[in-house]
Amino acid sequence: MPILLKAADIIAKYSPELIKESNFLASDGLTPYLEVVLVGNNPASESYVAHKEKFCHKIGAKFKLTRLKEDVGEKEFIDCIKGMNENPEVTGCFVQLPVPNQLRHLNITQLINPTKDVDGFHLKTVTDIYQGNLTGILPCTPKGIITLLRENSINPAGKDIVIIGRSYIVGKPLALILEAMNGTVTICHSKTKDLAKHTKNADIIISAAGMPNLITKQHLRSQPDQVLIDVGMNKVNGKLVGDISFEDVHDHVKAITPVPGGVGPMTVYSLMQNLLTTTKNIIKQRKV
């Protein structure tokens, strides 16, 4: 049987530490405070935001959801971001993506104050990672995957790692992070000619394509020694599934993440870690 890389045990193990740290920061003068801007009411975004709010309450952080109408104009939207950037009580903030068409031309991730960048998408954050500095804020999904691997004693150093997907929020930063951790990383994408050729060679396969059943037994080698991380979140007949056909592959791998219950909750957990880090950094800056 494969090892099931589940988030629940890790989150249960470390939540008391997050609560303790959040209380400590509050006693040091600044309660962690997350503000999220949500434009419109996309059901998936509503659900992600609800999970983030719940986790904030769990660790004793403040949470504010600012809702803007689907047809909000550019000025009102930017003013709203400026407001949370400048609010001295808010210690972390982001805009829940995606946003409606009329706002898509804006470079939204760059509008966020980098000291409050809990999503880890600001260029300043990305530059640190590009330079191999992994000690600061890391984007939440890649950070959650690194934690999952570490907590299961899977060291990326020296491993052949295939990442499927090259997005700004998952594939690209994850590749930089794993390369900085001495993994040998290959990025595959929609124009990759022979996906199975790459995945068969990998010790670790991470799929972030957003395509159900993309990875099947045909993509694996015969020895059950590969680790599979499924980032995909796809709705099929009302059910949440990943990119990996779990039933098809699970007897042929060393370890695999479930969907739901794998990378998704680790992403929210990482967001809370980032919120505590930005809060700590703001306290430090204020003390100088």
Give all strands (DSSP E) within the chain, no chain letters: 3-4, 33-39, 62-68, 92-95, 160-164, 184-188, 204-207, 227-230, 234-236, 239-241, 255-256
In the complex with ligand NAD, the residue whose CB is nearer, 106 or 187, is 187
Rounded to a whole number of angstroms, the minimum distance from the CB of residue 40 to ligand NAD is: 17
**Catalytic residue flag (residue 273):** no
Residue (10 or 90) nearer to ligand NAD, CB: 10
Binding-residue pattern over the window 234 to 263 for ligand NAD, x denoting contact by CB under 6 A = x----------------------------x
For 184-218, letters b (16+ CB in 10 Å) and e give bbbbbeeebeebeebbbebbbbbbbbbebebbeee
Site for ligand NAD in 135-174 (CB under 6 A): 141, 164-167, 169-171
How near is the Cβ of 192 to ligand NAD at its closest, in Å?
5
Sorted by sequence, the CB contacts under 8 Å of residue 91 that are 6+ apart come out as 30, 31, 32, 33, 34, 116, 275, 278, 279, 282
Distance spanning both ends of the chain, measured CA to CA: 54
Q: For residue 117, give the 3-state DSSP assignment.
A: strand
Active site residue 96: yes
Question: Is residue 232 near ligand NAD by the rule CB under 6 A?
Answer: yes
Q: Is 96 in the site for ligand NAD (CB under 6 A)?
A: no
Identified binder of ligand NAD from the candidate list 231, 241, 244, 276, rule CB under 6 A:
231
Q: How far is the CB of 214 from ligand NAD (least distance, A)?
A: 6
Binding letters toward ligand NAD, positions 176-215, x by CB under 6 A:
------------xxx-x--x------------xxxx--x-
Residue keyed to tokens 């907590």 = 151
Minimum CB separation from ligand NAD for residue 260, in Å? Answer: 9
Cβ count within 10 A of residue 86: 9
Helix (H, G, I), strand (E, B) or coil at 36: strand
| Single residue of 264, 269, 271, 275 touching ligand NAD by CB under 6 A | 264
Residues numbered 15-34 forming contacts with ligand NAD, rule: CB under 6 A: none
Tokens 């990378």 locate to: 263
Q: Which residues are catalytic?
A: 52, 96, 119
The footprint of ligand NAD (CB under 6 A) covers 141, 164-167, 169-171, 188-190, 192, 195, 208-211, 214, 231-234, 263-264, 267
